[in-house]
Amino acid sequence: MTTALLLSGTGRYADPWHPFEETSDAVAGLLKARGLQVTTADDVDTALAGLRDPGAWPDLLVVNVGLPRDGGTSPGTAEASAGLDAWLTGGRPLLGLHSSSTSFVESEAWEAALGGRWVRGVSMHPEYGKANILLEGSFPVGVPDFTVDDERYSWLRTSPDVVVHARHEHEGHLHPLMWSLQRPVRADAGSGAGVARSFYDALGHDAASYSSPEHRELLVRAVDWLLA
């Protein structure tokens, strides 16, 4: 059975603004409906440290965490950093969700693998509310533009290598909200390919976002693409 490890915002990776338990449950339900066996980690840094062993790797890593506010590093231990780097350079697929773009600030590999990052003092979002999502490219073919209650991340720093699939308009600019990325893989990774796949979805502030049939369909397509 295809397996997924879901890192959820618990402990120091929780924050006062995001109901991570609700959003992680919603994403886990979507993955299970797609036939995946999902493990939700109780401790993010411990789970990351476990990724140092490729023999224990799941088929998909899903990250739904916040930025620790305790003054410590993110990832929080040398072992956790090593595990995250092993995954990101090892040719395995990555699904990053919402506030995960704010986290793992001590890892340069994280931004490179995700395809972008929230930049403090630059990135922002308007108040939570109706978000008009504008789709583009071949990935969302057949899915109409849609409206969802959510946060609209804006002014994210993005790699020129990403392929954007959804945007929103704010202050006269179109801001990427969903993108895919094919990233280079170490020659010794043993993945059988020269690239690995990442998908980032900036939507998903709360469970209401995942009640949108269009949002859910896009995530299903993302998971299918990541695991193809």
Cα–Cα distance between 31 and 151 in angstroms, integer? 23
Percent of the chain with pLDDT over 90: 91
Structure tokens at 188: 């010794």
**Domains, the chain:** 3-227 (3.40.50.880)
Structure tokens at 158: 């993005």
pLDDT digits (tens, 9 = 90+) for 7-32: 999 999 999 999 999 999 999 999 99
Coil vs helix vs strand at 25 = helix
pLDDT digits (tens, 9 = 90+) for 76-135: 999 999 999 999 989 899 999 999 999 999 998 999 999 999 999 999 999 999 999 999
CA angle (109, 111, 113) in 5-degree steps: 65
Q: Which residues pair with 7 in a beta bridge?
A: 41, 63
Cα–Cα distance between 112 and 125 in angstroms, integer? 22
Mean pLDDT of the region 47-76: 95
Asked if pLDDT for residue 154 goes beyond 80, the answer is yes
- Mean of per-residue pLDDT scores for the chain: 95
Q: What is the structure's pLDDT at 165?
A: 98
Q: Taking Cα atoms as reference points, which of 133, 151, 126 lies closest to residue 206? A: 151
Q: What is the structure's pLDDT at 190?
A: 53
* Helix residue ranges per DSSP H, 139-208: none
pTM of the model: 0.96
Would you give the distance in Å from CA 8 to the centre of its chain?
Answer: 11
